[in-house]
Chain A
Amino acid sequence: MNRYFYYNIVLVSLLNLMLFVPYLLIQHRYEGSIMSMACAAIVGSILALLFTHVMKTYPGKGLPEILTLFFPKFLAVPFMLGCAFMWLTAASIVLYTYSVLINRFFNPDTSSIIVLTFMACVCLYGATRSMFTVIVVMEVILVVCTPFILFVLFKAVRSPLLDWDAIRTVAHYWNRLPKVKPFASSLFVFTGYMNFFMFNRLNSPNFRIRFRWFIPVFGSLILITSFFVPIGFHGTDGSADYLYIWSVTSDSLVMSYGFIERVIFVFLLLYLMLSLMFATIGWHLAMELVKSCLPQPKKPVDPAKTPRSNWVIVCVFVVMTITYAYTFNEKQNLEITSYWIVLRACVEIASVLFLFALSLAGSGKRKRLET
């Protein structure tokens, strides 16, 4: 199961582009982005390490099972619904943003709502599968996409048109004090481990996480790339003007002999796969959390038949997503995302510290039983 843990980390950190993380960082490039990124790298890695302790203490137990060990149901339910809401919104915002991207770059004549409906249907099917299926599909998608994405990133960094002077200019602003928004958005890059709030159910009791150094190293690299490369391509001042900064950045690369000359189309297709996968996981986890609030006997992890409740819950998610897309325009979506990302960071810090406290109490309890 070790590799599945890291697939989650890789997926979520790559997905930061869809949640306007580079955009928010670049808006604050002269006002503390770099220090915020450094703080987020430290805080994010510490939270991830604390959470691995929780996983070790409660092998095979998801968030609902851990909570029922300590609290009566009526206390656990609001907490779980809150978490479900965070996963649902993450997935829905990514889907909506991507449907707008398709409308902008692929097919301007199609309404983004139609695109969103199609994508939501794909994710509806994916999210209703069993937890085991979802995590295996994630492996396939990542094994297919990640090499290409790393290739595009490598190409970007090696490009002669990348202006290192612009990057160095912005790097000179490292000594500004960190700010909440850039901090919260950079924290998102390190947050992949949170999917194991639920995926932990799949872990066997003798499970041990190795290569924990991978979390800070990979997260920091991705964060640095997604912040500095657009600045190198669009300048210290120009980069703040773009909304979909990474799509435009990938359009600044050329593959003369790569069948498709414009890298943007390859890049967007890869991110289509990643976004669908991210939304599938988000909805699936939110669905599992909602289901564990309902009174029902414990189900196996990989049931042969998809329960009807799966369909019902995810269909509600789909309807909520499409309603969201109908209600809010691009500008409001960006605004909401920037507040959401701060809320998400608060929820992440609070819930992980809370669970860590529970795990300390839990291991203490176990020790007392043993002696």
Chain B
Amino acid sequence: MKRVRLPLLLLMLLLPLTSSCGFRDIDKRFFVIAMGIDQPSNGAKGFNVTLRLAVPSPKIEPGSGKNQVVSIQATSIAEAVRLLKAHVDKELDFGHCKVFMLGEGLARNNHTDMLRWLSRRRDVQSVAYMAIGHPDAKSILNIAPPDERYPGNTLFLMFGKDGTQSSYLVPVYVFDFIRRTEERGIDPVLPIIRAEGKSYVITRLALLDKTKLVETITPAQTETYSQIRNQDSKSTVAAVKDGDTMVINVDRISSHYKIVKANGEHVLRLHLRVSGIFEEAPLGIYEANWDKLEELFNEQIASEIEKLFKKVQHAGVDPFGFGLRYRATHAGSPQTWKDWERIYPNLKFDIHVRVKIDGTGLVK
């Protein structure tokens, strides 16, 4: 006893200090599950910040998720959050905020101001998702899907890998978005959410440069982007033969690209290998010459990819990270980046697709 007397005494002396720790019980907190940032509607300076708060509910059953949506306009995001604290009775907690949404208007204008808040806040998860709300973030956050088991679950399941895995949705984490806005050689992308009735639809991808949204691509191009960049195997490839659409469900996919110099000009050489079985095709495909079918797929997919690459190049953005690949394969010096800025607008594309048909499904 004698030996522990001193430490015990010290510990007791420390106890009064804990009163200032500022700990709050869970029932005294409002968990923010999604945050939306818009431009003010009247053209004023600043931001219109919308928070979707989870209302605790004792039941977990479809439709029992309760939300409270609060919204305010202020000259800075931090100020808006402080002001919103005056609108609610519990402490706001961003620790569970998994979706940060930009209004399309703000994204088209300038998204960098928003990052000044997002990257500095200590309780913002680096693994939260980012998206663009169409037409604005507030109207998306106001939607409460009727079948939600707990607040925000629909959005979390859509973005995460646990629920639906759509090939038209490219999830983007906060840290990935920040990295792409800083990095020379790769530009940010964000999925676009729009409302449909009391639910959400995410099919298109927005391409941004370092400061603003410059282009959106179609759902089919979004799927192609996902196949090339993320080697997304939960996807399909399609081709048209004599007016009939044939669709292959992808089992394995791999994409490699490199930037080579041929005949004095730089060429991006992409190899995309896809294999899978038919999901939809006219009867009798089993008897057809598979080599010819594969050839058809190869040509049509390659031309689609080239169209996407040209579109991206024309928009002056680099969502695939070709520039970073160029930097990664050339000597380390500031000159390399200057060279790439000169090369990219005139970059040629050489696309090789190799589709391998594994089978035709259950019927011939």
Residue positions of A touching B, CB distance < 8 A: 30, 104-105, 107-111, 114, 117-118, 121, 124-125, 160-161, 163-175, 233-238, 241, 248, 251-254, 256, 261-262, 264, 305-306, 311
In B155-195, the 8 Å CB interface with A consists of 160-162, 173, 175-176, 178-186
Which of B9-17, B32-40, B242-250, B268-276 touches A? B9-17
Partner of B328, one of A117, A169, A233, A251: A169
Decide if A251 touches B125 in the complex (CB within 8 Å).
yes
Nearest Cβ on chain B to A159's Cβ, whole angstroms? 11
Nearest Cβ on chain B to A282's Cβ, whole angstroms? 20
Partner of B175, one of A105, A109, A117, A233: A233
Given contacts A114-B17, A256-B160, A256-B161, contact A262 B182 (CB under 8 A): no
19 CB contacts below 8 A, A to B, read: A107-B23, A109-B23, A114-B18, A117-B14, A118-B14, A125-B7, A169-B332, A172-B327, A174-B332, A234-B175, A234-B179, A235-B179, A235-B182, A236-B183, A238-B181, A241-B119, A254-B127, A256-B160, A262-B125
- Residues of chain B lying within 8 A (CB to CB) of residue A160: 230
B64 interface residue, CB < 8 Å from A? no
Decide if A109 touches B183 in the complex (CB within 8 Å).
no
Decide if B324 touches A165 in the complex (CB within 8 Å).
yes
B123 interface residue, CB < 8 Å from A? yes
Give the secondary structure class of A's interface: helix
A121–B22 alpha-carbon span in the complex (Å): 21
B346 interface residue, CB < 8 Å from A? no
Tell me the nearest residue of chain A to B321, going by C-beta.
Answer: A165
Decide if B183 touches A238 in the complex (CB within 8 Å).
yes
Decide if B123 touches A108 in the complex (CB within 8 Å).
yes
Q: A236-B184, A238-B183, A248-B175 are in contact. List 14 more A-B contacts (CB 8 A).
A: A111-B20, A114-B21, A118-B14, A121-B11, A161-B176, A163-B321, A163-B324, A169-B328, A171-B332, A173-B332, A233-B175, A237-B183, A238-B179, A238-B182
Partner of A252, one of B175, B184, B330: B175
By Cβ-Cβ distance, the 8 closest A-B pairs, closest first, are A109-B22, A172-B332, A238-B182, A168-B328, A173-B332, A235-B183, A235-B179, A251-B126
A241–B181 alpha-carbon span in the complex (Å): 12
Nearest Cβ on chain A to B14's Cβ, whole angstroms? 7
B218 interface residue, CB < 8 Å from A? no
The A/B interface has a contact count, at CB < 8 Å, of 109
B329 interface residue, CB < 8 Å from A? yes
Decide if B3 touches A306 in the complex (CB within 8 Å).
yes
B108 interface residue, CB < 8 Å from A? no
Decide if B22 touches A110 in the complex (CB within 8 Å).
yes
Tell me the nearest residue of chain B to A241, going by C-beta.
Answer: B182
Residue positions of B touching A, CB distance < 8 A: 3, 6-7, 10-11, 14, 17-18, 20-23, 119, 122-123, 125-127, 160-162, 173, 175-176, 178-186, 230, 321, 324-325, 327-332
- Residues of chain B lying within 8 A (CB to CB) of residue A104: 122
Partner of A107, one of B3, B7, B22: B22
Decide if A121 touches B184 in the complex (CB within 8 Å).
no
Nearest Cβ on chain A to B81's Cβ, whole angstroms? 14
A124–B6 alpha-carbon span in the complex (Å): 11
- Residues of chain A lying within 8 A (CB to CB) of residue B183: 166, 235-238
- Residues of chain A lying within 8 A (CB to CB) of residue B3: 305-306
A200–B178 alpha-carbon span in the complex (Å): 48
Decide if B184 touches A237 in the complex (CB within 8 Å).
yes
Decide if A251 touches B324 in the complex (CB within 8 Å).
no
A12–B279 alpha-carbon span in the complex (Å): 56
A280–B332 alpha-carbon span in the complex (Å): 43
Tell me the nearest residue of chain A to B6, going by C-beta.
Answer: A311
A104–B183 alpha-carbon span in the complex (Å): 26
- Residues of chain A lying within 8 A (CB to CB) of residue B21: 107, 109-110, 114
Given contacts A110-B20, A160-B230, A241-B182, contact A105 B125 (CB under 8 A): no
- Residues of chain B lying within 8 A (CB to CB) of residue A254: 127
A306–B183 alpha-carbon span in the complex (Å): 56
Tell me the nearest residue of chain B to A253, going by C-beta.
Answer: B127
A168–B23 alpha-carbon span in the complex (Å): 45
- Residues of chain B lying within 8 A (CB to CB) of residue A235: 179-180, 182-183, 186
Nearest Cβ on chain A to B241's Cβ, whole angstroms? 34
Nearest Cβ on chain A to B258's Cβ, whole angstroms? 11
Tell me the nearest residue of chain B to A107, going by C-beta.
Answer: B21
A110–B181 alpha-carbon span in the complex (Å): 33
Nearest Cβ on chain A to B315's Cβ, whole angstroms? 21
A108–B91 alpha-carbon span in the complex (Å): 13
Nearest Cβ on chain B to A365's Cβ, whole angstroms? 43
